[in-house]
Amino acid sequence: MALPCEIGQGGFSGYRSFQLQLPCISEKYFSSAPYRYCWDEDGHRLPTTPPQRGQFVSGQIAANVLEVYGERNRALVSIPDGERVEVDMAMLQVRPRM
Amino acid sequence: MFLSDRDLSWAIERGGLTVEPRPGSFEPSSIELHLDRIEEAKIWDMTAINEEGATHGLEPNTLLIGKYKFEKFAPKFLKPIPPRSSEEKVFRKNNSVVLKPHGFMLWQTKEAVGSETGDYICFIDGKSTKARAGLIVHLTAPTVYPGWVGNLTLELANLGPFDLILKEDDVLTQITVAKVSSLPAQTPGEAGSVTMKQSSVDTSGDE
């Protein structure tokens, strides 16, 4: 699966930072991951040139569903920075091709 | 069991092992990796870190290492290697980086490596000849876990007496690869910690 996010420059060219709006917090979750786990909002591979520092574009980040909480309409997913986060089920999208 | 040169080639051919760009040659039981472009050599921006740390009441040059997470820090606080200045232990000189004794820096490998399918586990290793000059290329974390693929971030430190000159395409490191006994039940992300309320990047690492 994949999650909609905002994608920006990572620490290295092989990485992109991403911001996720999670239901549990008001501020956005911020982290980074190898760019192969990120896509643009149409599901295409990202351009090799990242956005300028501080700029973010709409995109998607890979996610694996670990658990579904049907009663709350939420899911626990793992994301490529090694963390697990709880998201609204409505956020989940079909993962584009790697 | 570690893969031989023939098995490394076969694993890449079959798609279970990713090494991009593909290696031109193989060592008997390893694949040499290259330093990426000089723009991929980075140091921590201590000025920016201290500015943000001060907003959290931290003393200059301090880090709450237990809460620090590289993935959150790197996009904000890594900067390219600056040109020479008298107090720097790492500086750029034309198309080279000079790593002086006790200097520390990060540099991405040109190759993205790993096993998307989870069939293989990779280990970063240094080169003994380079180590004897005092160069360390990774600190404590040699493992590329099954299911993860990406450019490797080398932690370069100089413990020797020389000013080391580093350039793009230098071969300072290699990976060895082993077959995983069965597919892991968890992906690297599934084994990670649960983050429910992490917000923006901050140097205190407060969650």
Instruction: Provide the domain limits for residue A8.
Output: 2-91
User: Which residue in chain A is spatially nearest to B145 when comparing CA positions?
Assistant: A82
- Nearest by CB to residue B195, choosing from A14, A15, A84, is A84
Structural domain contains residue A58: yes
Active site residues of B: 155
- Chain B nearest-CA distance from A40, in A, is 18
pLDDT digits (tens, 9 = 90+) for A55-94: 999 999 999 999 999 898 999 999 999 889 999 999 999 9
Return the structure tokens found at B160: 């020797």
pLDDT of A1-32, one tens digit each? 999 999 999 999 999 999 999 998 888 999 99
Contact B113, B19 (CB under 8 A): yes
Q: Which one, of B179, B176, B149, B163, lies nearest residue B18 by Cα? A: B149
Residue B191: predicted pLDDT: 54
**Full residue range of the structural domain in which residue B17 is found:** 5-43+80-179
Domain count, chain B: 1
pLDDT of residue B99: 97
The reply to whether A59 falls in a domain is yes
Q: Which residues does chain B have within 8 Å of residue A17's beta carbon, measured at their own beta carbons?
A: 75
Question: Which of A14, A24, A78 is closest, CB to CB, to B108?
Answer: A14
Asked if residue A97 belongs to a domain, the reply is no
- Strands, E assignment, chain B: 18-20, 31-34, 41-44, 78-80, 90-93, 96-99, 104-114, 120-126, 135-136, 143-144, 149-158, 164-167, 171-179
- Which of the two residues, A75 and B191, has the higher pLDDT score? A75
Q: Which residues of B are less than 8 Å from A33 in CB distance?
A: 71, 150
CATH code of the domain covering residue B171: 2.70.40.10
Q: Could you say which DSSP state residue B206 is in?
A: -
